[in-house]
Amino acid sequence: MKSILNPIYNNIKDKISVQDFKIVEDAFSFAEERHKGQKRKSGEDYILHPLRVAIEASKLNLDINAIAAALLHDVLEDTKTTKKEIKDLFGEDVLFLVDGLSHLSQLKRKAVYKNKTIGRLENLRNLILSSAKDVRVILIKLVDRLDNMKSIWALSPEKQVENSEETLEIFAPICNRLGLRFLGRQLEEMSFPYVYPKEFAEIKNKVVNYYYEIEKYLTDARDELVLFLKENNLDFYEIQFRKKSFFSIYRKYKKEKDFNKIYDIIAMRIIVNTVGDCYTALGLVHQLWLPMQNRLKDYISFPKITGYKAIHTTVLTNNNQIVEIQIETKEMFYHNTYGPPCHWVYSLVKDTKAYTKRQNVSGANILYKNLQNIDFESINTKQLFNVLVKDLLAEQIFVVTPKGDVIDLKKDSTPIDFAYKIHTSIGNSCKMAKVNQQLVSLNHKLKSGDMVEIIADKNQKPRKKWLDMAQMSETRVKIRKELQK
């Protein structure tokens, strides 16, 4: 085995044999030979790019064929390699992935748009149509974009801004929506200085000094907390600090309008062994320090749509400093940081009850189910923008039906949105709604964890005022279609 492939092998060695790894070795040798003599705009040998993409793909728990495809993802586009060669050497599955990735790149290169936003949406549309057939396509594309952003300095100023805007508007939100927070944050941080240079400089100047000040008193607070947890016999794994990214701070600063009201620039993370320990730690934290009102969020009982689980609380420490505390188990920490296990963990239990149950609650699979339900052929570009960017990639909530089914919606959605999400016929006949067994108006704003019930009437018809009640573009599209009838 070539030593240059060690990072890939080390990431997946617990799941494969050395013999299975041969397809990765062969794919690297093939790509290295085909890209021989080619250089990136940064001046480095081209083969280093697909190698880094494959290393990142291996961190996502992708299967062996996907990692091989990551190494080969540019050979159809940038060399004289044929599809038959790839199929004969690596099989139909690898060819499917490489062809899908190559097709996306070719579409983007051929497309010329007067409106950049429309161009990006058409590219996103093609990305979704391809990846809806196989989640691995979009995952490889995301890590490909990550590596391209790392060498963005070698591009022209115009290209730097263009690529960064697309990354910030499309690719980073997709990462966050799939639960790949570590990947989404990297893309945001690399794009931020090019898209909003003045704002980046302002936030950086504010935060650098603040980091130094807050780390000093948080270190003292951590020592105090460690001692208190040990005195109360709580067996914890680790207590660490988490720095908020510059772009996340900027986003919150725009909302709060006051830098001093952003309490989680550096948060304290308590990592424990069991779910029970999470709640025990919460009680001890509130016993040691004064909790702030309305700042407790239980994402264990009500996980985010991406599957994120943790308890968040904000407290006033004994030295009068406001600190956000995040409490999670080791398993939650791994999932929250690196995203849900991808193709190959599920392949071990595919078609079993455990697999089916896990698929039903996965944020990634809920997203893909929603994507596949979109009528791409009949929706126009403006509607596509609203449905994809303003709805699916926006901040989400999820509510439950009386039967316990989880329904994901855009934040601040109403019972009208919920009804149409269940089924168009339910939406069209929606007369009243109950939230947590209480009658509410149809423009009531829903929250995560709400139990929602729709009372339908076959004589009810959609009304024009529903367009104002609806918060989701997809809902408005369905209402307009029915009104036109």
Q: pLDDT by residue (tens digit) across 168-191?
A: 887 887 787 677 788 889 999 999
Tell me what pLDDT residue 252 has: 82
- Residue 1: is its pLDDT beyond 80? no
Q: For 228-274, write each residue's pLDDT tens digit.
A: 999 999 988 889 887 778 888 888 887 777 777 776 777 899 999 99
Output the pTM of the full model.
Answer: 0.70
* CATH number for 460: 3.10.20.30
- Please indicate, yes or no, whether residues 256 and 323 belong to a single structural domain of this protein: yes
Specify whether the CB–CB gap between 259 and 207 falls below 8 A.
no
Rounded CA-CA distance 457/349 in Å is 43
Tell me what pLDDT residue 426 has: 93
- Residue 347: is its pLDDT beyond 50? no
**Total domain count for the chain?**
3
- Residue 374: is its pLDDT beyond 70? no
- Residue 453: is its pLDDT beyond 70? yes
DSSP string, 186-216: HHHHHHHHHHSHHHHHHHHHHHHHHHHHHHH
DSSP, res 389: I
DSSP, res 45: B
Tell me what pLDDT residue 377 has: 54
Range of the domain at 329: 198-338
Tell me what pLDDT residue 394 has: 60
- Residue 36: is its pLDDT beyond 70? yes
Rounded CA-CA distance 365/359 in Å is 6
Tell me what pLDDT residue 128 has: 61
Is residue 280 in a domain? yes
The residues annotated with a catalytic role in the active site are 77-78
- pLDDT band of 334, cuts 50, 70, 90: confident
Specify whether the CB–CB gap between 86 and 22 falls below 8 A.
no
- Please indicate, yes or no, whether residues 248 and 115 belong to a single structural domain of this protein: no
- Residue 351: is its pLDDT beyond 70? no
* CATH number for 256: 3.30.460.10
Tell me what pLDDT residue 92 has: 92
- Residue 57: is its pLDDT beyond 50? yes
- Please indicate, yes or no, whether residues 138 and 236 belong to a single structural domain of this protein: no
Specify whether the CB–CB gap between 342 and 358 falls below 8 A.
no
Q: State whether residue 403 is helix, strand or coil.
A: coil
Is residue 84 in a domain? yes
Single-letter code of the amino acid located at 438 = Q
Specify whether the CB–CB gap between 307 and 318 falls below 8 A.
no
CB under 8 Å to 119, separation ≥6 — which residues? 111, 112, 113
DSSP string, 209-248: HHHHHHHHHHHHHHHHHHHHHHHTT--EEEEEEEEPPHHH
Q: Which residues pair with 314 in a beta bridge?
A: 324
Rounded CA-CA distance 471/58 in Å is 38
- Residue 383: is its pLDDT beyond 80? no
Specify whether the CB–CB gap between 196 and 209 falls below 8 A.
no
Last residue of a domain, one of 146, 180, 214: 180
Tell me what pLDDT residue 429 has: 92
- Please indicate, yes or no, whether residues 106 and 247 belong to a single structural domain of this protein: no
**Number of neighbours of residue 102 by Cβ within 10 angstroms:** 20
